Amino acid sequence: MKTIANTLEPAIEKIIFWSRWLQAPLYLGLIVALGVYAVHFFGELFHLVMGAGVQSENDVMLLVLGLIDVVMIANLLIMVTIGGYETFVSRLNLDDHPDQPEWLSHVNAGVLKIKLSTAIISISSIHLLKTFINASNKETALPPENWQAQVFIHLTFIVSALAMAYTDKLMYQAAQLSKSSH
């Protein structure tokens, strides 16, 4: 005898599995954000080029670090968009595409977390470097408690990334052990 639960269960499972597609518009939104960052990049590049020859070395360095920061955030957006879509929504079917990123062939939630952590640490490093370079400028330098907070936050990112990597390693080892015992 078929119960109501037995009748509803396949429909509920299909709805739950289909719900992953609700993330697709979010990834499209990240592509729009990437476009905004591209516009920002060219605005900053324009400032750098127009100020060539009149800006101090520190000002040039800060502008270049700003450009690097924008590129790293753009890379982060790409990793989240492509890797997240591939991992959580649907395969991209890019096996024959000559420009397929190397990392995409072995992306999973664990790899994506480690890559994102590394990108966040790199972005934090750029911000910290900008703060230290700017420290000699009395007009624009942050108070010591601000850059101390930045150092603490940066170290927190590093510790978190190491903890995630270690956890991922333990999970991988447990999976390998489980496979070998079967």
Q: Is the per-residue pLDDT at 95 higher than 80?
A: no
Phi/psi for 31 (5° steps) reads -65, -40
Residue 147 has a pLDDT of: 78
Work out the end-to-end distance of the chain between its first and last CA atoms, rounded to an integer number of angstroms.
36
Q: Record the tokens describing residue 93, joined without a space.
A: 């079917």
Q: Is the per-residue pLDDT at 79 higher than 90?
A: no
């639960």: which residue's tokens?
5
| Confidence band of 182 (pLDDT split at 50, 70, 90) | low
Domain coordinates in residue numbering, the chain: 14-181
Sequential DSSP letters for 92-112: ---TT-TT--GGGGG--HHHH
Residue 22 has a pLDDT of: 95
| Residues 6 or more apart whose Cβ sits within 8 Å of residue 68 | 126
| Confidence band of 49 (pLDDT split at 50, 70, 90) | very high
Residue 1 has a pLDDT of: 56
Q: Which helix (H) or strand (E) holds 83?
A: none
**Which pLDDT tens digit goes with each residue over 103-135?**
777 777 777 888 888 889 998 998 888 888 877
Q: Record the tokens describing residue 152, joined without a space.
A: 């603490």
Alpha helices in 19-56 (DSSP H): 24-50
Mean pLDDT of the chain: 86
